[in-house]
């Protein structure tokens, strides 16, 4: 039988309980490793991973239209809608900071 186990979270260092039920759940699915993080840290990582895949809606720096981008828009660099982005992509002499944005989008 399984017994509750106290583990230390590798992210925040706090102790958390790896319950008997969870151990059984892990064993049933063939997970060999014990959880490395407490529930709040696991949830935070899941949320972060999900946020990375989310699309962000912002204002196009070029035409002021709606721009949807796969990253959190930063105030320190321009973001373009797909139309303006396509136009800019054709411009070989784009300034380097615009190239950096394109690199992120490609
Ligand atoms: Zn933690
Ligand atoms: Zn635009």
Q: What is the pLDDT of residues 41-56, one digit of tens each?
A: 999 999 888 776 778 8
Query: Would you kindly state where each structural domain of the chain is located, as residue ranges?
Result: 5-52, 55-105
| Of 5, 35, 40, 9, the residue nearest 19 (C-alpha) | 5
Alpha helices in 9-81 (DSSP H): 20-28, 39-53
Is the pTM for the entire model greater than 0.75? Answer: no
Q: Please tell me the number of the ligand nearest to residue 67's CA.
A: 2
pLDDT at residue 97 is higher than 80: no
Q: Of the segments 14-18, 82-86, 88-92, which one has the largest average pLDDT value? A: 14-18
- Residue 28 to residue 25: CA distance in whole angstroms: 5
Determine the distance separating the centroid of ligand 1 and the alpha carbon of 46, expressed in angstroms: 13
Q: Which residues surround ligand 2, an ion (CB under 5 A)?
A: 60, 62-63, 65, 81, 84
Determine the distance separating the centroid of ligand 2 and the alpha carbon of 73, expressed in angstroms: 14
Report how far apart, in Å, the C-alpha atoms of 22 and of each of 45, 52, 96 are.
19, 28, 51
């Amino acid at each position: 039988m399984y017994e509750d186990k106290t583990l230390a979270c590798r992210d925040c260092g706090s102790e958390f309980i790896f319950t008997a039920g969870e151990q059984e759940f892990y064993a049933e699915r063939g997970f060999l490793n014990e959880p490395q993080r407490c529930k709040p840290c696991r949830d935070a990582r899941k949320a972060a991973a999900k946020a990375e895949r989310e699309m962000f809606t912002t204002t196009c720096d070029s035409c002021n239209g709606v721009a949807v981008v796969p990253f959190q828009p930063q105030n320190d660099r321009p973001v373009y809608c797909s139309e303006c982005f396509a136009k800019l992509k054709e411009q070989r002499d784009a300034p380097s900071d615009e190239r950096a944005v394109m690199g992120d989008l490609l």
